[in-house]
């Protein structure tokens, strides 16, 4: 707390529990009272499980791509070169469980998991846990 700031007061206008505590802590302009758990073990476990999920998805994508490389269907080969073709072929009637449909679904599910993993796995995120 710096010398120019007002002394803290316990506000009861927010009631009891978390609302009152949050109101009290928010009055600290220097954030000296901010003492929060870092959940290091839980955070690392989360990244490890996410890494496991991504590894399984990566294996599935590679398996589907190997399957596509062996296919005699020219549409499958076109789908491996173009997202648009992949999406269009996956939506064609009668292709509900096609290679293109399975690959599109797996790739579509990767986006959120990969973004989360990359944000959690950045150096700046892990530096915060080392303090």
Residues 49-62: tens digit of each pLDDT? 999 999 999 999 99
The CA distance from 115 to 54, in Å, is 11
pTM summary value: 0.66
User: Could you tell me the sign of the dihedral formed by the alpha carbons of 35, 40, 45, 47, in that order?
Assistant: positive
Residues 55-86: tens digit of each pLDDT? 999 999 999 999 999 999 999 999 999 999 99
């Amino acid at each position: 707390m710096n010398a120019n700031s007002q002394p803290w007061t316990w506000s009861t206008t927010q009631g009891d529990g978390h609302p009152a505590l949050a109101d009290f802590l928010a009055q600290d302009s220097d954030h000296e009272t901010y003492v929060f758990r870092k959940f290091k073990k839980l955070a690392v476990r989360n990244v490890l499980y996410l890494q496991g999920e991504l590894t399984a998805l990566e294996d599935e994508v590679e398996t589907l791509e190997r399957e596509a490389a062996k296919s005699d269907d020219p549409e499958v080969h076109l789908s491996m070169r173009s997202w648009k073709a992949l999406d269009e072929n996956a939506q064609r009637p009668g292709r509900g469980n096609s290679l293109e449909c399975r690959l599109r679904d797996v790739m579509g599910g990767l986006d959120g998991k990969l973004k989360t993993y990359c944000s959690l796995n950045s150096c700046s995120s892990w530096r915060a846990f080392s303090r």
